[in-house]
Structure 1
């Protein structure tokens, strides 16, 4: 249609007639350039709301949370539409774990001695146990799993889960391990 703009001397109606294009189609297209349609106006309005929710969250919320806030506030909008509009304006959420470590060691604290000198081989059961504390991401938040394994059999001696990954969780796991295996002191 830029051809019509460049060649104004030909006239719009004869060119459209020759191309078998209804004149109403051409004029509707020209009007759409000046006046955005209802969907474009609604997208612009939603983009403003999305920017506000994203800013209120400190730039942390991604499309699922922004969609949840808009729905809670009574705005009817689809999840995919929120994703598309956020992508178009360059908004994205930030993962709270990105670049952060959950364990923060006190630099002034004295390190515990390595009693096994990194040698995890043993000839009898219940001589050496190893433990691990792992965070598992769930829909309801983080779940911490503490597990104790026997270095001899490599089987789990005891395990416990909690919403908090602290010393109490590890100590509870150790209590269960001691109760289930009943190791003999001094062996």
Structure 2
């Protein structure tokens, strides 16, 4: 489900102010989104991640989203197509080797993406929360969704994960594309930060990103259970 700017929430607006730093001044961004500069400076912590680590996460996202069947040339093409990044093929190859990535040759199959197929493949799961949106400790219940923003004539999608224990944002990812990598990259960030998630329940709607094979492969690998609203 995609929500609009007005329902995005204060935390999401703080994230947007930080991420759109190259678009306008802080004052203009805050004024446009209807929040105070003092509130923004108080709530948002700036982090400058290493560029190579960002690139490696994108490479890993492409590699896993394509079920580990792509080589460095295809990854190079996808970096440009998805992120408008021009990266030397030798650098892509080196990073893939450092990450232990090698293309797996598989038989071709017909990729089914319909809702009926997701149901038959048991990728529409039961509602484990049953409207109980409280938790007794961290990393017990997370909720996630995708919010759409239109800022300065640009459409931006924010995927965010919130811990119901303290309502803090665990991880987020921004993209101009509302696709599977948007959600998968969010959870990669979350699981890199939070290691103890063996008893975690992750709740979402039935959006196509949350019924994808990649999503249903990723969460059980770390011991998390998938919950969906009906």
Structure number, greater radius of gyration: 1
State the TM-score, normalizing by the size of structure 1.
Answer: 0.40
The structure with higher relative contact order (CA 8 Å, sep 6+) is 2
